[in-house]
A = this chain, B = another copy of it.
């Protein structure tokens, strides 16, 4: 089956967590909104599903995945679905739930990262909420980054499988997402989050290991990987990183 991923075409954003799973899982997929509109792609294709009256189970927002006739929304839910199919999650129920629990905690972390540059409203420009962003970013870097990184570092430390990732002996989609968050933090807050990551050697090693995996390395070198930029979840504003 060819999966169809629908996400805003100009950014990594939350779609990137799905892309990484599809790439590592060797899935056959199309990044639909990056295809030409003339060939049924583009933002028009995405909007068609988002606002299409005939979709019985419509997503609230991108990313969403078409798998045959199904439309599946919510990043973590897409990964829950793909995890079993692409061999990126344990097969037993406990392992599945634990992987998903970690993914949801990563999603919470990502939401907080997003809100450092948009503390007031997603509909306003960063420049319209800059003083608030400065205050929120300060609290985030001071209190939340150490709390989240400390948590995930301790999860890595408690995994009884040596050389494992967050869950058991095998790589999961949560590892891919965690590595992406570390990469994103390094882009957005090279000074302050960069220093924080260095204090968490297991996370740093996980990040390096994930991006050294052959399929991920090939993906990152390809033009399928969009660069980080200041329209996505991870944005670099120098004044927030002081």
Q: A58-B154, A58-B155, A158-B58 are in contact. Are A101 and B72 (CB under 8 A)?
A: yes
Residues in chain B near residue A119, CB distance under 8 A? 119-120, 132, 136
Minimum CB–CB distance for A95 against chain B, Å? 10
A123's closest neighbor in chain B, by CB? B143
Q: Which of A8-62 contact B (CB under 8 A)?
A: 55-60
Minimum CB–CB distance for A190 against chain B, Å? 22
Minimum CB–CB distance for A78 against chain B, Å? 9
A69's closest neighbor in chain B, by CB? B94
Q: Which of A63-106 contact B (CB under 8 A)?
A: 70, 72-74, 76-77, 80-81, 94, 97-98, 100-101, 104-105
A151's closest neighbor in chain B, by CB? B60
A140's closest neighbor in chain B, by CB? B121
Complex CA gap A182/B78 in Å reads: 27
Residue A226 at the chain B interface, CB threshold 8 Å = no
A72's closest neighbor in chain B, by CB? B97
Residues in chain B near residue A74, CB distance under 8 A? 100-101, 104-105
Residue A230 at the chain B interface, CB threshold 8 Å = no
Minimum CB–CB distance for A109 against chain B, Å? 9
Residues in chain B near residue A151, CB distance under 8 A? 58, 60
Residues in chain B near residue A123, CB distance under 8 A? 139, 143
Q: Which of A100-137 contact B (CB under 8 A)?
A: 100-101, 104-105, 108, 111, 115, 119-121, 123-124, 129, 132, 135-136
Q: A60-B151, A100-B77 are in contact. Are A120 and B135 (CB under 8 A)?
A: yes
A76 touches B58 (CB 8 A): no
